[in-house]
Homo-oligomer: A and B are copies of this chain.
Amino acid sequence: MRPESTFLAGYDPTAFPPVAVTVDIVVLTIRDGALHVLLVERAEHPYRGRLALPGGFVRDETLAEAARRELAEETGLRPGEATLARVHLEQLRTYGDPGRDPRMRVMSVAYLGFAPSLPDPRAGGDAASAAWLPVDDVRDLAFDHDVVLADGLERARAKLEYTPLGTAFLGPEFTIGELRAVYAAVWGEQLHPGNFHRKVLSVPGFVESTGGTTSRGGERGGPRARLYRAGDATLLHPALLRPTREEQVR
């Protein structure tokens, strides 16, 4: 084997079978207290009629640009829209097994997105087949998208531990209780309100007070809550660890 010549051969487009590159996006949001993912119904073979992650071919643009463009198209948000700019997008992983697409070799660069509450995808046109679904109800996606979604969920759960990205699911101002609801939805377990409150306020840069409060109490009672906005930290130190992972560690 001759490594350099192999390496260089990679640049001759005629020397190897063609490869297509797509981005697929795992966009998560929280609706009615449950974690939802944006899915589209496939209109063509293969996997016609099956649900799939939104995505598309990469054009003359960076991978991140492709992901944000696809996100705008599938959510029906205008590309310049402020809400869209508030969606956090990061690269998740690349899936490229031969045979993952029956037609040809397709490399899919998956992105993971955290979105604040967004409207239903625009009705009419191709986007009519897009919808937010609770992640617990999702299975049997097209291609290897079940695996992509599972990887995205695991990444999202881990990210909430050591980054302040939980705030990306919320509006510009939020209460500690709303932030706790985000953690509960993503992690799938309840958190101790008092301890969560203490922890969030004690981690430097996680949130900062706006000085204001909600204009009324909760729907089922309780006092008005103070409002916060996201702080300037990019990493939480010390991290917020998920409870009870003793068993899953092996």
Contacts and interface: CB of A to CB of B under 8 A. Distances in A.
Interface of A: 1-11, 13, 16-22, 40, 42-44, 54-63, 70, 73-74, 91, 93-94, 96-98, 101, 103-104, 106-107, 109, 125-127, 129-130, 204-205, 232-239, 241, 245-246, 248-250
Q: Which of A20, A22, A97 has the most CB of B within 10 A?
A: A20
Given A10-B106, A62-B97, A91-B93, 6 more contacts: A3-B74, A4-B43, A11-B103, A232-B250, A234-B250, A235-B249
Q: List the 3 shortest-distance A-B pairs measured between CB atoms, nearest first.
A: A10-B57, A13-B18, A94-B94
B21 A57 contact: no
B21 A21 contact: yes
A55 B3 CA distance: 8
Contacts of A62: 96-98
Contacts of A44: 4, 8
A63 B100 CA distance: 12
Contacts of A13: 18, 20, 104
A1 B73 CA distance: 7
Contact of A250 (B54, B205, B246): B205
A216 B244 CA distance: 42
12 contacts: A3-B40, A3-B54, A3-B70, A3-B130, A4-B42, A4-B129, A10-B22, A11-B104, A19-B58, A63-B94, A233-B249, A234-B250
Nearest to A129: B4
A12 to B, nearest CB: 8
Contacts of A40: 3-4
A95 to B, nearest CB: 8
Contacts of A61: 98
A102 to B, nearest CB: 10
Contacts of A17: 60
Contacts of A204: 246, 249
Contact of A57 (B7, B104, B237): B7
Contact of A6 (B11, B16, B56, B101): B56
Contacts of A125: 2
A34 to B, nearest CB: 25
B16 A10 contact: no
A24 to B, nearest CB: 9
Contacts of A245: 235, 237
